[in-house]
Amino acid sequence: MEYLSDKRHILKKTYALLFVLFFSTLLSCFFMNKTFFTAEGWYSYYAKLINTGGVVYKDFEYLFTPLYMYIIALVTKIFGTNIIVLRIMGVLVFDIIAVLIFLICKNLFKDYIAALVSIVGVFYFQSDNYQVFYDYVRVMDIFSFLSVFLMLKFLFTTDKLGKKVVYIVLWGLTSACYFLIKQNMGALSTVYYIGVIIFCGFFMRQKVKTVLKYVLCFLVSFLVPILVFCAFMYKQDMLQIMFQSVFMNAIGAKGGLAVILFRWIGNVLPELIKVLPYAICYIALCICFEMISGKYLDKKIKVKSVELLFVGIILFIGIILIIVNENIGIFISSQDRLKPIIIFTLDIFIIIYEMIKLISDFKNKNEVDLKNISYVIVGGAFFAITYGAGMSGGLSIGESGIGIAFVIGYLINKIEFIGGIVARGFAYYFCIMSCLTSMAIKVIAPNQWWGINEESIYEMKYETDIPILKGIKVSESEKKMYEGICEIVNENTTEEDSIYCFPHIPIIYEMTNRMDPGVYGKVQWFDVSDNETLKKDTEIISEMKPRVIIIYNLKDSTYEGHEDLFNYGELSGTRYMRDFLYEFVNTENYRYEGTFISADNNISVYVVDDKKTDRLANLYEGTGTKNDPYIIRDDTDLVNLSMLVNQNENLDGIYFEQQNDISLKNVWWIPIGFNENKSEFIYNFNGKYVYDINNCDINYSNIYKSINKSYSSQ
């Protein structure tokens, strides 16, 4: 009987945590082996470089502090490079984040509230446009949330036996890890944390000497890991290069310090003004519930545990329905969810309201309630985290998980009055729908990133024959795309040959077991690559001439959007590289091998053509005579013709005949003769059309530049 009593006691103490772990694990395991986003493999390639002797900053560019990179290098060195290994790591990361959000909320609210809103938080942040559970941002979240949790432990712990000092030392260490993963957000939060120590000391009427002791303990524990890392970099003669990369180049890639710190605020300000009425109604409702609860407090906690169980059953049924029925998934995904700007604004109003209460108590010399302080500092921590995410371009769903848990929990915590079941019922309904909507959005659109969209999870039924993707389910079109690209690379290169993948697809190096030609910028993405680095890399490509060049054809709006955010609308290094590559493959002896399309993914492959003596016979059906012309059937044939002319191939007197209407919407068209190369071949349109011409920045209205031929378009 005593054993059973102990078991019941343990279950009572852990039921809320088990609730959180059950749903977080269920969600992450469902997504773990489905879909493979083209931009997922950045750190897999970085890890390979490190594990094969490469040195970050010296051998390849990286604009962040490198702790996460070394974590991935260690994991892949021990467990292998298969993506499924990292996905399993991602499940663990996701569960750790869920537990940390719960522990933070547990310090603020009752267990059943903490459990409920933690699930809302983890479901919400997984619905971010681009979500990989093991991504550096998610590992950064672990240290970010761990810092917030330790901040609360520091607040609520008395200074007996030095426990307060222990917590502040751990707080400093986790903040250092936060900084060593992403320096800008880590630095911003560290400044905030020092402010929190001073803030708490002031309102708790602590001695100045005590506050200074805590600040010193925090700073020492924060600086020691960073100084150790700097010493390691100094020993490698890399300290100066690291500082240049993570500070000067990183700031330059974002458009300057003023852009990083403040420009995003102007972008969200109009939307923030629009949501102010909602925030006013929210805080008014919180005050109203607080006043009613003060008079008619309900102490039946057990009933609320039953309510949590009921919510869990409904949520579980909803999840299963989304998984098994696509129509239900589509319908639920169409429902509205809270935008990050709303959560951000509600958080500000909570901080203001709790600050007013704190100042009032302090002024009247009343004893300050630690709960009020905790609301202010947790709300402020979310503000700092969100502000840091905003410096990357705007408010982020991924960084709002703890925020939505906080603002919903803050409201439900006020519904403690007798008869409050009705109000809680509405809150529970919102929580359930928020979770289901977040999940359904991710099921229907697994990744949406700068105009790059994936097919729904319902299409993920196939496995590829690519070793590192073993165990990952992809769509039929993704399978054809990845296998097709790998087949071309494997047929036309050896492992000693270099290939070049642009701009955000280094995973193809891993898929094909090939290396780049020695460029410094391994990932050529706007705000993670220095403009000058990419310009210098064009010289390396010209000299080394990769045997295969693979170009992800991004929409012009993606370039324009990033250049507007980070480059004052000026030409970015990424666009400079793109234009160079399109010209390079068209003027050197490359052969167009086709474009692979899956959802919005559009990837073109070009291969060095060693068989120049019989290139036409290799590419086309026919003999090129008047009676037996070379046949142009599709966009691949037409692109190859353009490349032959632009590479100064002699086609004088050769006949070509178009047999079908050809759309060029899926290729980035470089016009025939754009570089003034001329060839007097004879092209018979045969009454057919060429339309949907996609010229990127080389904007000609005809398929020809220097050949005076007319044609009809539709």
Tell whether the model's pLDDT for residue 8 goes beyond 70. Answer: no
Chain segment 561-585, per-residue pLDDT in tens: 888 888 888 889 999 999 999 989 9
Of 281 and 707, more confident: 281
SS (H, E, C) 95-112: HHHHHHHHHHHHCCCCHH
Around Cβ 253, how many Cβ atoms within 10 Å?
24
Residue 197: predicted pLDDT: 96
Tell whether the model's pLDDT for residue 707 goes beyond 60. Answer: no
Share of the chain above pLDDT 70, in %: 94
In whole angstroms, give the CA distance from residue 198 to residue 193.
9
Chain segment 282-328, per-residue pLDDT in tens: 999 999 998 998 887 777 656 677 888 999 999 999 999 999 999 99
Q: Per-residue pLDDT averaged across 339-358, rounded?
A: 94
Tokens standing for residue 578: 């793109």
In whole angstroms, give the CA distance from residue 43 to residue 230.
22
Residue 372: predicted pLDDT: 92
Side-chain-facing half-sphere of 144: CA atoms under 13 Å: 36
Tokens standing for residue 285: 């409702």
Tell whether the model's pLDDT for residue 225 goes beyond 90. Answer: yes
Residue 2: predicted pLDDT: 47
Residue 256: predicted pLDDT: 76
Instruction: Please measure the distance between the N-terminal and C-terminal CA atoms of the chain and give it in whole angstroms.
Output: 84
| Residue 607 bridge partners (DSSP) | 548, 591
Q: Judge residue 409's burial from the number of C-beta atoms within 10 Å of its C-beta, 0-12 exposed, 13-18 middle, 19 or more buried.
A: buried
Q: Are strands 590-598 and 601-608 parallel, antiparallel or unpaired?
A: antiparallel
Lowest-pLDDT range of 113-127, 172-186, 285-299, 425-439: 285-299
Chain segment 88-108, per-residue pLDDT in tens: 999 999 999 999 999 999 999
Q: Judge residue 314's burial from the number of C-beta atoms within 10 Å of its C-beta, 0-12 exposed, 13-18 middle, 19 or more buried.
A: middle
In our burial notation (b when 16+ CB lie closer than 10 A, e otherwise), range 27-39 reads bbebbbbbbbbbb
- With beta carbons less than 8 A apart as the criterion, state whether 583 and 676 touch: no
SS (H, E, C) 528-564: HCCHHHHHHHHHHHHHHCCCEEEEECCCHHHHHHHHH
Lowest-pLDDT range of 242-246, 508-512, 532-536: 242-246
Chain segment 389-446, per-residue pLDDT in tens: 878 777 888 888 999 999 999 999 999 888 888 898 999 999 999 999 999 999 999 9
Residue 77: predicted pLDDT: 95
Please report, as a single letter, which amino acid is at residue 90.
Answer: G
Average pLDDT of the chain to the nearest whole number: 88
In whole angstroms, give the CA distance from residue 659 to residue 686.
7
Tell whether the model's pLDDT for residue 142 goes beyond 80. Answer: yes
In whole angstroms, give the CA distance from residue 680 to residue 673.
11
Q: Which helix (H) or strand (E) holds 139?
A: helix 136-156
Residue 711: predicted pLDDT: 31
Side-chain-facing half-sphere of 85: CA atoms under 13 Å: 15
Q: How confident is the model at residue 1 (pLDDT cuts 50, 70, 90)?
A: very low
CA torsion, ordered 267, 270, 272, 277, to nearest 10 deg: -170
Residue count of the chain:
714
Chain segment 356-396, per-residue pLDDT in tens: 999 998 888 778 889 999 999 999 999 999 988 878 777 88
SS (H, E, C) 410-453: HHHCCCCECCCHHHHHHHHHHHHHHHHHHHHHHHHCCCEECCEE
Residue 551: predicted pLDDT: 95
In whole angstroms, give the CA distance from residue 523 to residue 42.
7
Tell whether the model's pLDDT for residue 336 goes beyond 90. Answer: no
Residue holding tokens 């108590």?
361
Q: Per-residue pLDDT averaged across 631-654, rounded?
A: 87
Beta strand segments in 600-713, E: 601-608, 630-632, 655-658, 662-663, 682-684, 690-691
Residue 202: predicted pLDDT: 92
Residue 11: predicted pLDDT: 55
Chain segment 481-529, per-residue pLDDT in tens: 999 999 999 999 999 999 999 999 999 999 999 999 999 999 999 888 9
Tell whether the model's pLDDT for residue 276 goes beyond 70. Answer: yes
Chain segment 582-637, per-residue pLDDT in tens: 989 988 989 999 889 898 899 999 999 887 667 788 888 998 998 999 999 988 89
Q: How confident is the model at residue 160 (pLDDT cuts 50, 70, 90)?
A: low
